[in-house]
Amino acid sequence: MKLLKILPILVLTVLPSCNLDPGYTSYSNVVIPFDMHSVPETGQVGTPVNIMASASMDNGCWFNVHFVLTGKDDRQYEMVALADFESSGVCPTVVVSADTTVTFTPERTGNHVITFWMSPTVAERDTVVVGEALPDR
């Protein structure tokens, strides 16, 4: 009998403290996969090499999609697509995308390897074979 008296008081104190709304979530500079990346097969010393890339995410909680190309040394480069995520529950069903063309100018001949990070642990590599610049005529 005593339990029946305490049960309503317990229910009235516990239920209002339950927050059934989804929590706020926010992440910055999350590595997202590339949809496409394009690197020329060949290049020349001293001549800019253009790399084209695009990336997208499948809902409107993603924003600020941007790209970063980093030179690891004079023939090794890494490229990432980054985005921010912010949600307080339901995300709009809209594709968020961006594309870019980034440039580097090789200073040495040989194979220049560009690593495209598809996730923090998975990468795809592409190579530009760089030769000597042609003499002016």
The values of phi and psi at residue 121, to 5°, are -125, -10
Write down the residue that tokens 């030179």 correspond to. Answer: 71
* Nearest residue to 49 via CA among 27, 24, 69, 21: 69
> Which domains does the chain possess?
21-131 (2.60.40)
Give the CA distances from residue 85 to residues 15, 16, 22, 96, 102, in Å, rounded to whole numbers and listed in that order. 31, 30, 15, 11, 24
Structure tokens at 28: 């910055």
What's residue 80's pLDDT? 97
Number of helices (H) and strands (E), helices first, in the chain?
1, 9
Residue with tokens 């594709």: 95
SS3 55: strand
Average pLDDT of the residues of the chain: 88
Mean pLDDT, rounded, for 108-137? 91
**For 19-25, what is the mean pLDDT?**
73
Tens of pLDDT along 49-105?
999 999 999 999 999 999 999 999 989 999 999 999 999 988 999 999 999 999 999
* Coil, strand or helix at 49: strand
Distance CA 130, CA 122 (A): 26
CA 117 – CA 64 distance, rounded (Å): 18
Rounded to two decimals, the pTM is 0.79
